Amino acid sequence: MTAPGVGPITALAVFAAFDDATRFKRYSSAGAYLGLTPRRYESGEISQNGRVSKQGDKFARSCLFEAANAIYCRNLGGSRLRDWAHAIAQRTGPRKAKVALARKLAVTLHAMWRTGSIFKDTGSATRRP
């Protein structure tokens, strides 16, 4: 719950969705497990990114999207995350930026849980004393 925008319900939803911190070999797999990665359509010479795959736990995905919306719209801390999302929004639009921020939050929360660290807005997590 030290991450900005993440409250007790979001933390418990993500905790319940992942079930085990060592489930994924890479941290980036956490976002894909919750369905926060774009679906790919590939056929012959065509290769396109589509909408999010919506696989995995719907409640955890919606909680992460709401946390991303809170970071994006309000000044809750996490200014680097907000600046990163606003840069994406200028290129692709605010909804895609919020989904990308939700995916980043999922990966960050999984990494924090696995390493036992707390969130710092310096771009990395630090160990608890």
Phi and psi at residue 84, to the nearest 5°: -60, -45
Residue 47 per-residue DSSP state: E
Please give the single-letter amino acid code of residue 83. D
Is residue 22, in this structure, part of any structural domain at all?
yes
Q: Where are the alpha helices (DSSP H) in the chain?
A: 8-18, 29-33, 58-73, 79-92, 94-115
Instruction: For residue 67, tell me if it sits in a domain.
Output: yes
Within-domain flag for 1: no
Confirm whether 13 is domain-assigned.
yes
Span 82-98, average pLDDT: 89
Going by C-alpha positions, the residue among 123, 107, 84, 101 that lies closest to residue 14 is 107
pTM exceeding the 0.85 threshold for the entire prediction: no
How much is the average pLDDT of 35-64? 75
For residue 60, give its domain range: 8-117
Say what the pLDDT of residue 45 is: 76
Query: Could you tell me which residues are beta bridge partners of residue 118?
Result: 126
Q: Would 53 be classed as within a structural domain?
A: yes
Between residues 49 and 67, the one the model is more confident about: 67
Residue 123 lies in a domain: no
Q: Which DSSP state fits 74?
A: S
Structural domain contains residue 127: no
20, part of any domain: yes
Number of domains forming the structure of the chain? 1
Contacts by residues 68-71 (CB-CB < 8 Å, ≥ 24 positions apart): 68/5, 68/98, 68/99, 68/101, 68/102, 68/105, 69/5, 69/98, 70/4, 70/5, 71/4, 71/5, 71/101, 71/105
Band of pLDDT at residue 114, cut at 50, 70 and 90: confident
Q: Is 70 exceeded by the pLDDT of residue 51?
A: no
